[in-house]
Amino acid sequence: MEKEVVRQSYFFLGNSVGICQRINKKYSISCYRAAGGVNPEIFYPLKKENRKEEFRMLCYGRLYKKRKGVQYVIHAVEKLYRKYPHLKLILFDSLVGRERIDPRKLIKTHVPYEFYMNLPQNKMAWLYSQADVFVSAERRAGWSNTTAEAMACQIPVVCTPSGTRDFAFHNHTALVSPFPYPLFLRYQIERLIQNEGLRHRLAREGWKRIKDFTWSALVNRLEQIFKEEAKLK
């Protein structure tokens, strides 16, 4: 119904700078930016457990949604695994909505992996914090919740610009691949495998940046927008 909606005399809110730019470019409609958020009481840094020599790559595991780019991440890690046999892939998802498809049945890879399903929210900080790197290869995302959550748990991130432009700045708060292709992702992931200092710096700077995106900050932003809109009326 997108084309019908944009013809109406609504004012538009976008939950990321990317969405706002898309609406403006495609329909010449100005859009208030009200970026998404992350709850710091649920997502926060925890101490890593002793995992011997494993290097753990964490990825959102909704394989049946192609725009999530999970297969691109898996293919990138498979290539790296030949050179770095201590890599381990960690995936997570939950059975939600009408689909209720179990993504564990769809994964096919020779890389050692664990797949966590239906973890309660109070366990998510633990899951993120056990990772060495979080990787997202989303396409057409509004706000990338999982990438924001990883940053809030002080995990270095490799991502695409989709849903992350508000907080993922290449070589500063994250390593940003311009396209969600395995070759591009592999290059950025390998930089983090080889450079512990870079991992620590990105984790620290990403955590500092995402602290600005709390739900209370979003509420304040929405109130500001509604007041501005009321004045125009």
- Find, among 143, 186, 178, 144, the residue nearest to 160 by Cα: 178
The whole-angstrom separation of Cα 210 and Cα 95 is: 27
CA atoms within 13 A on the CB side of 214: 11
pLDDT at 98: 65
Name which CATH class applies to 55-210: alpha beta
Give the predicted TM-score (pTM) of the model: 0.92
The whole-angstrom separation of Cα 21 and Cα 11 is: 15
pLDDT tens for residues 158-194?
999 999 999 999 999 999 999 999 999 999 999 999 9
52, pLDDT greater than 90: no
Map out the domains of the chain as residue ranges: 2-37+214-232, 55-210
pLDDT at 50: 73
Mean pLDDT for the chain overall: 93
pLDDT at 97: 64
Which residue type is seen at 162? Answer: S
pLDDT tens for residues 115-146?
999 999 999 999 999 999 999 999 988 899 99
The whole-angstrom separation of Cα 179 and Cα 222 is: 31
Report the SS3 class of residue 169.
coil
Band of pLDDT at residue 99, cut at 50, 70 and 90: low
For the ranges 52-61, 180-189, 203-212, the lowest mean pLDDT is seen at 52-61
Buried b (16+ CB within 10 A) or exposed e, 164-180: bbbbbeeeebbbbbeeb
